[in-house]
Amino acid sequence: MRLIQAGLLAVVLVAFLVHGSHGQTTPKVLCYYDGANFLIEGLAKVSLTDIEAALPFCTHLVYGYAAIDPTSNKAVSKNPTLDLDTGKSNYRLVTQLKRKFPALKVLLGVGGYRFSAPSPKYLELLESGAARITFINSVYAIVKAYEFDGIDLAWQFPQNKPKKIRGTTSKLWHGFKKVFSGDSVLDEKADEHKEEFTALLRELKNAFRADGYQLGITVLPHVNATMFMDIPAIINYLDFVNIEAVDMQTPERNPKEADYVAPLYELTDRVPGNNVDGLVKVWLGANTPPSKIVVTIPTHGRGWKMNADSGITGVPPLTADGTGPAGPQLQQEGYYTWGETCAMLPNPSNTALKGAQAPLRKVGDPTKRFGSYAFRLPDADGENGLWVSYEDPDSAGNKAAYVKAKGLGGIGINDLSYDDFRGTCAGEKFPILRAAKYRL
């Protein structure tokens, strides 16, 4: 009898261990760092040393960015004097961080775009088997030489055209007009490029397999994944799919209309699917394992100028007048780090200031569905109005809770440089990363 009981106990114990090892996985926290931020002079300069305080919260560090050389089809650093051994050796230094943080995986970020249109070279390369091989060999050579653990591939597909929020009648007319104007065609060879992108990922995975290198992709903002990616065909080649659900509305793409830039759920009368949940459902609907889906949480905010037509409530969507003024750190119009946004919110140092220095009025998100925004109404002469949609620690935590509730694979923090890496806002460094990590 005792032998039977001992045998049953052993079976239960084995079953528990198997369930624990296969049924539970550690959520990924992909931390992105664009090395080009080290080249910025002034307050926006961020070094590898500056981001070390974030790394205990990260499972992966993605160091960017490599790009395609248009003449050779090889993957090359965008900043060779910074990244290569002939320069400051950042490629070598970033992978050496694994000595301090043994559990950290360091990936090379390839592709991506920021403040620029996608390069046609990315489509041209897909069309040539020989070019793909050249590209893959060059990627493998960089990963091998500098001891990266794999790559995160953010392929530059054509972006969807900006869409304005319209009434029902206007939507019907616009859709009718597109049929005859042809302006809905993003890529006449989209089907071919979809097959060729599948081939590229298959060939990359084959090249990486013997060394155990990881292969993930980032789906960039405004890219129609179902148009350019055969999801069921590619998913087995990938360790993760990072959905960069950010910048869905920006002052560059939508200068006359301000709205939430990265809402979690769909809002009334908005472009369908233009939110985190909508994009996640695309991949889940194509039978992607939830454990492979990663959701990007941005650390920046976007700002529009308000004018006399913007109204007085600040409730989006609202009429705008182009990009907001540059902040003191990034010096980029309408683009703000969390530190810059935090400094514009009410605090003891700005409550008595007027004009362009006056604090913004903060509007939180009690529904936990859309995100936060803040605004300052224009002066009597129509100047100094500003409306900003941003991510803060609270909204980042809500998105991480969504990822956990859906059983998804994890989160991406993009970019570490735009989180409050100095801790000037609330006293702790990387508050957005921390808040998101704690809610996973």
**Domain-located, residue 19:** no
Whether the Cβ atoms of residue 109 and residue 154 lie closer than 8 Å to each other: yes
Per-residue pLDDT, 291: 98
What distance in Å separates the CA atoms of residue 270 and residue 278, rounded to the nearest whole number? 12
Question: Which DSSP helix (H) or strand (E) runs through 4?
Answer: helix 2-23
For residue 115, give every residue at least 6 positions away whose Cβ sits within 8 Å of its Cβ, in sequence order, or none.
252, 332
Instruction: Identify which of 274, 76, 64 has the alpha carbon closest to the alpha carbon of residue 164.
Output: 274
What distance in Å separates the CA atoms of residue 387 and residue 377, rounded to the nearest whole number? 8
- Classify burial at 312, counting beta carbons within 10 Å of its beta carbon; exposed 0-12, middle 13-18, buried 19 or more: exposed
Instruction: Report pLDDT digits (tens) over 91-105.
Output: 999 999 999 999 999
Q: Which residues of the chain have pLDDT under 70?
A: 1-24, 115, 165-184
**Domain-located, residue 315:** no
Asked if omega into 317 is within 30° of 0 (cis), the reply is yes
Per-residue pLDDT, 108: 98
**Domain-located, residue 98:** yes
What distance in Å separates the CA atoms of residue 144 and residue 138, rounded to the nearest whole number? 10
Instruction: Report pLDDT digits (tens) over 296-319.
Output: 999 999 999 999 999 999 999 999
**Domain-located, residue 324:** no
Instruction: Identify which of 72, 66, 155, 151 has the alpha carbon closest to the alpha carbon of residue 118.
Output: 155
Per-residue pLDDT, 165: 66
**Domain-located, residue 9:** no
**Domain-located, residue 41:** yes
**Domain-located, residue 8:** no
Instruction: Identify which of 322, 287, 280 has the alpha carbon closest to the alpha carbon of residue 410.
Output: 280
The parent domain of residue 99 ranges over 28-160+189-299+391-439
Give pTM, 2 decimals: 0.91
Per-residue pLDDT, 183: 45
Per-residue pLDDT, 24: 54
Counted domains in the chain? 1
